[in-house]
């Protein structure tokens, strides 16, 4: 489910249209969970009447920087996936639009590119349209970027301009005949689009038991993100946590007295060697790091390893190498058992990195006996936020029955600034 925050400044009639559509069940893939106003306004009262959390952040009192800091914190705390601007009069900074790239929707009361941009808001739009003598007007729903009203258009709808129209009458007809219908319909369609394109969150939410997983890519700030998560079924596998020691993240038993066989559950999950960050679901991480020290590639280093010997599951060994520097790239690998019992070795290298994009690979395709192994290639996913917010989102999307630990490392491509975020606590009474 796509979690929606609506930003408002005034009466909130477009918010009401969204709430009414939600009540009618017209947005199957999304739900409004938060309404934020940049001032105290009637729209917040509408949200409260619908039992939706309403937050007032007075921009004039706080100031621009403090307002956006509070805004981003609030959005992060509520794990917001999509922002809808519904009569929101503040201009969002590049920091906000970049962090939520392609995840902010606005409605503007004209047919963009006409009568839009800086200074065109409220009745000013309709005054300009009538002054120019246009015969049609309408509304546009578009994605928000750093240019005012300049993002990609999602939908438009026109109405005739009448000979006796005033700015007020034209604005009212566009609101009632176009905006109240166009905005809810477009938001619902975009939520479906987000769901169908399977962002990181939806990939995880759709798989009850992904096993162990790796995410590599760039967030919207252009920083490298390397994530590793653990889900487990048995109490033995759940008896572990992640511990960060410098650049190294290791698995460790929560209760050493319950540890029976450490061979497949205790290992170095993440480490760094120079410009290379290695992540893996087993002790092949040691093999990779030793190979790198000897000048070997990831592929060459793993030639001596196969899938895990845990019949009947034969858990795939998954690994990742993120190379930092001027020409960054990352490689993901999976060693899995073929039908004939041999080891299928697959490597996927990504050299043309895009901000906000990553790839996800994990060990299992769901629950079962034996467990169904991962199929196909790593999935491309959207990636936004810092280490903390990504860790929170991954943790929230993992099934509560199976989740054990998540670690996310965020590091700039120069390798000079790194942050770890860890979330853990298996539902087994050990924590």
Kindly list the catalytic residues: 108
Pure H helices in 78-219: 94-99, 123-132, 167-174, 180-196, 200-205
3-state secondary structure 379-400: EEEECCCCHHHHHHHHHHHCCC
Contact assessment for residue 200 and residue 219, using Cβ atoms and an 8 Å cutoff: no
Contact assessment for residue 170 and residue 130, using Cβ atoms and an 8 Å cutoff: yes
State the maximum Cα–Cα separation within the chain, in Å, rounded to a whole number: 85
Q: Across the beta sheet with 82-85, what order do the strands follow?
A: 53-56, 30-37, 2-8, 82-85, 104-108, 136-143, 153-160
SS3 275: coil
Return all residues near 399 (Cβ < 8 A) that are at least 6 apart. Answer: 208, 209, 231
Closest CA to 82 of 62, 59, 106: 106
Instruction: Write down the number of H helices and E strands in the chain.
Output: 13, 20
Token pair, residue 249, equals 């993240």
Return all residues near 51 (Cβ < 8 A) that are at least 6 apart. Answer: none
């Amino acid at each position: 489910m796509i979690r929606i925050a609506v930003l408002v400044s005034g009466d909130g009639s477009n918010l009401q249209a969204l709430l009414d559509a939600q009540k009618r069940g017209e947005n199957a893939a999304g739900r409004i969970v938060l309404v934020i106003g940049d001032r105290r306004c009637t729209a917040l009262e509408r949200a409260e009447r619908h039992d939706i959390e309403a937050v007032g952040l007075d921009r004039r009192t706080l100031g621009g920087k403090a307002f956006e800091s509070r805004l981003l914190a609030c959005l992060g705390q509520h794990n917001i996936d999509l922002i809808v601007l519904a009569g929101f009069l503040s201009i969002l900074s590049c920091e906000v639009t970049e962090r939520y790239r392609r995840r902010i929707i606005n409605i503007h009361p004209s047919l963009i590119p006409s009568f839009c941009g800086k200074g065109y808001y409220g009745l000013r739009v309709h005054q300009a349209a009538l002054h120019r003598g246009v015969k049609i007007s309408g509304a546009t729903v578009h994605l928000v970027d750093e240019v005012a009203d300049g993002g990609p258009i999602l939908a438009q709808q026109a109405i005739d301009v009448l000979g006796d129209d005033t700015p007020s009458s034209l604005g009212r007809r566009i609101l009632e005949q176009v905006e109240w219908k166009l905005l809810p319909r477009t938001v619902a369609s975009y939520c479906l689009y987000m769901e169908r394109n399977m962002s990181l969150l939806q990939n995880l939410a759709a798989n009850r038991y992904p096993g162990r997983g790796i995410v590599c890519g760039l967030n919207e700030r252009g920083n490298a993100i390397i994530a590793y998560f653990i889900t487990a079924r048995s109490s033995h596998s759940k008896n572990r946590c992640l511990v960060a020691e410098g650049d190294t993240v290791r698995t460790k038993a929560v209760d050493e007295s319950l540890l029976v066989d450490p061979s497949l559950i205790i290992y170095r999950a993440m480490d760094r060697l120079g410009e290379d960050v290695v992540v893996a679901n087993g002790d092949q991480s040691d093999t990779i790091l030793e190979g790198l020290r000897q000048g070997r590639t990831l592929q060459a280093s793993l030639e001596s390893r196969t899938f895990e010997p845990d019949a009947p599951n034969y858990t795939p060994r998954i690994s990742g190498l993120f190379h930092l520097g001027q020409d960054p790239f990352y490689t993901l690998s999976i060693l899995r058992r073929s039908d004939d019992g041999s080891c299928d070795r697959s490597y996927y290298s990504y050299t043309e990195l895009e901000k906000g994009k990553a790839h996800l690979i994990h060990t299992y395709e769901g629950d079962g006996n034996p467990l169904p192994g991962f199929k196909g290639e790593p999935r491309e996913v959207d990636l936004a936020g810092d280490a903390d917010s990504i860790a929170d989102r991954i943790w929230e999307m993992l099934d509560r029955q199976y989740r054990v630990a998540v670690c996310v490392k965020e590091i700039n491509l120069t390798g000079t600034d790194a942050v770890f975020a860890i979330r853990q606590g298996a539902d087994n009474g050990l924590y």
